Amino acid sequence: MQLVAYLKGERVDATQMAHEPWRALVNHPDYPSLTLIECGLRASRVTRRGRQFFKHYPDIECPIQHKSESAQHLAMKQALKNRINAMPEWRAEVEHAHPGRVWIADVMATHASGKRLAFEVQLSPQSEDEYIRRSQRYADDRIRAVWVVPDNLDWFRVQMPMIVTGFGKTSDLPGTPGSLMDLAHHQPLVGKRASVGAAVDAVLDLAFQWPHGTPKHQLDEIARLEQMKAEAAADKQARAGEAAELRRLAEAETAARFIAAAAAPGASAARPVLAAKRTWASEVHCLTGGHPMLIWRLTKPAPERASSDPMWRPTMENFDNVRAHVDAWLAAAGSSLAKAMVYKVKGWPVRRTFVCPECKQIIQGRWVSALPPEKWTLIAEASAASAEARDMLHRKPPTQPSHFSEEPRPARLPVQVEESDWRFIGPRRKPYWMTESGSEELPYRLAAKKAHAERMEQLRANPRYRVSPNGFRFECTDCGGEFEDDKEGIHADRGCVTPGTRSFGWR
């Protein structure tokens, strides 16, 4: 559906024609030359539900895809045109086309001063890139595009003038197009709730200025800001790397000073004391005041510490028995060297570290881990005799082979198990009535057994009953009752659902 067509090169606007000239258009001598603006093919004028528009002449195939305009779209364009024409010095034209068909504006508003605004009614969903592309096409021709949309699109990166109507493709058509200008909604252009007509008037005001610029200008600004952010992030990362490298060098220098000041305490002064665990000790100095102290560890010093190794912490080194061995070695060596203190560091998880007893400076675990083996002295170890005694204490006594003769067990006689006992194994005897009945009674019993079997087959085949897995219990689907064997009873012939059949009456 189109609102504009051409008749012998002259523009025909369906919204500007009165009813009588519109009806008389078919009698115009040049009516067969009426063509659409986009494809140039023959058109016909149509009136539907009081609305005038053009469409392709019947049985004409168009090679291009025209944009589908709903009745709501046409009504909104008519309302915009009437509102713009009501403003002084403004003139509106629907479906105004670029000379090169680059764009076709739904409603082109032109001021006496030459200022032009293109009102685009967009009731169907459209991507942000398409909004930007179409807006920039108008901006290249010094035309400001104003979008008339059902909902607010404030999440777009690029800001564009938009008039929010709340009127979509599925909305009810108004009695007159002019009532669409009375719809109220929050208008981003004025920053408050206002009617559609008030928003149109605000855009048409010559004092109105769009502060955000064209879409291309905004995209360039967004790209510039993103580049600045990327450069700032790269610069921040570089500074962080430099600071980390400086911290690493400072820590390495501090660790080197700590290692250089450390020494193996009295390697020949005293022999290692006897203890349950081997213990190594080293004489170190705090870096603040240079106070000497003794630190110890229960793990063998490694020649080189890998960066992936966990931080060393004195855990078992703080046990009373370990500290007693350190005191025993100091007493045996006659040394007055002070022992380092073990403090618990605040925070979670629980951590402990050595601390200088004089100035309370923390001895970092990575410094202790970096001490080479030659800076450590073995001060406590277990002797071979004590180790053997400990092994003997915890060793299980050997088991002695038992010498006894097995006596043959007396054979147990089999127990007679009756057929009624669950332990019975073997073939069952025949029923008593087959073995104990006389020759005259047996045929009657066999006939009764056959009749019972036939009756059971009939019950199992009855669709009114559900059969249990054992085949001898039935559930009536009419009343939900159950019965066993062939005792059908009240369930026969649907007696269970017949009023008055039960002894207690129907309920």
Beta-bridge mates of residue 482: 475
Task: Count the alpha carbons within 13 Å of 290 in the hemisphere toward its beta carbon.
Answer: 3
Assigned domain for 475 exists: yes
Do residue 111 and residue 192 come from a single domain?
yes
Assigned domain for 131 exists: yes
Q: Which pLDDT belongs to residue 228?
A: 96
Packing angle of the helix pair 215-261, 128-140 (nearest 10 deg): 120
Q: How far is CA 46 from the centre of its chain?
A: 52
Reply yes or no on whether the pLDDT at 390 is more than 60. no
Do residue 169 and residue 49 come from a single domain?
no
Distances (CA, A) of 226 to 223, 229, 504: 5, 5, 89
Do residue 166 and residue 91 come from a single domain?
yes
Task: Report the share of the chain in percent with pLDDT over 70.
Answer: 83
Among 41-55, 72-86, 345-359, 440-454, which stretch is predicted with the lowest mean pLDDT? 41-55
Reply yes or no on whether the pLDDT at 303 is more than 80. no
Reply yes or no on whether the pLDDT at 474 is more than 50. yes
Do residue 74 and residue 208 come from a single domain?
yes
Reply yes or no on whether the pLDDT at 247 is more than 60. yes
d(CA 338, CA 265): 12
Assigned domain for 251 exists: no
d(CA 437, CA 129): 101
Reply yes or no on whether the pLDDT at 267 is more than 50. no
Assigned domain for 413 exists: no
Q: For the chain, how many structural domains are there in total? A: 4
Among 15-29, 210-224, 277-291, which stretch is predicted with the lowest mean pLDDT? 15-29
Assigned domain for 223 exists: no
Among 5-14, 78-87, 281-290, 390-399, which stretch is predicted with the lowest mean pLDDT? 390-399
Reply yes or no on whether the pLDDT at 93 is more than 80. yes
More confident residue, 358 or 506: 358
Q: Mean pLDDT in the chain?
A: 83
All residues at 6 or more sequence positions from 82 whose CB lies less than 8 Å from its CB, including other chains: 92, 177, 178
Say if strands 43-48 and 51-56 run parallel, antiparallel, or are unpaired: antiparallel
d(CA 443, CA 437): 10
State both tokens at 494: 């649907």
State both tokens at 131: 């909004």
Q: How far is CA 143 from the centre of its chain?
A: 44
Do residue 52 and residue 163 come from a single domain?
no
Q: How far is CA 247 from the centre of its chain?
A: 39
Q: Which of the four pLDDT bands, split at 50, 70 and 90, describes residue 477? A: confident
Reply yes or no on whether the pLDDT at 34 is more than 90. no
Q: Which of the four pLDDT bands, split at 50, 70 and 90, describes residue 233? A: very high
pLDDT digits (tens, 9 = 90+) for 370-388: 889 999 999 888 765 555 5
Reply yes or no on whether the pLDDT at 158 is more than 90. yes
More confident residue, 76 or 469: 76
Among 181-190, 222-231, 349-358, 406-415, which stretch is predicted with the lowest mean pLDDT? 406-415
Do residue 200 and residue 158 come from a single domain?
yes
Assigned domain for 233 exists: no
Buried-exposed string 291-314: b where 16+ CB fall within 10 A, e elsewhere? bbbbbbbbeebeeeeeeeeeebbb
What angle (nearest 5°) sits at the alpha carbon of residue 408, between those of residues 405 and 413? 165
Do residue 109 and residue 52 come from a single domain?
no
CB 315 within 8 A of CB 304: no
Q: Which pLDDT belongs to residue 242?
A: 95
Do residue 75 and residue 205 come from a single domain?
yes
* Residue 89 structural domain: 69-213
Task: Count the alpha carbons within 13 Å of 91 in the hemisphere toward its beta carbon.
Answer: 7
- Nearest-CA neighbor of 297 among 282, 283, 276, 275? 282
Do residue 6 and residue 81 come from a single domain?
no
CATH assignment at residue 202:
3.40.1350.10
More confident residue, 216 or 17: 216
Where a domain ends, among 357, 391, 425? 391
Where a domain ends, among 341, 357, 391? 391
d(CA 342, CA 293): 12
CB 295 within 8 A of CB 281: yes
Long-range contacts of 304-310 (CB under 8 A, 24+ apart): 305/366, 305/369, 305/370, 309/369
How large is the average pLDDT for residues 179-185? Answer: 92
Do residue 75 and residue 208 come from a single domain?
yes
Do residue 50 and residue 83 come from a single domain?
no
d(CA 216, CA 2): 31
Q: Which pLDDT belongs to residue 504?
A: 46
More confident residue, 394 or 399: 399
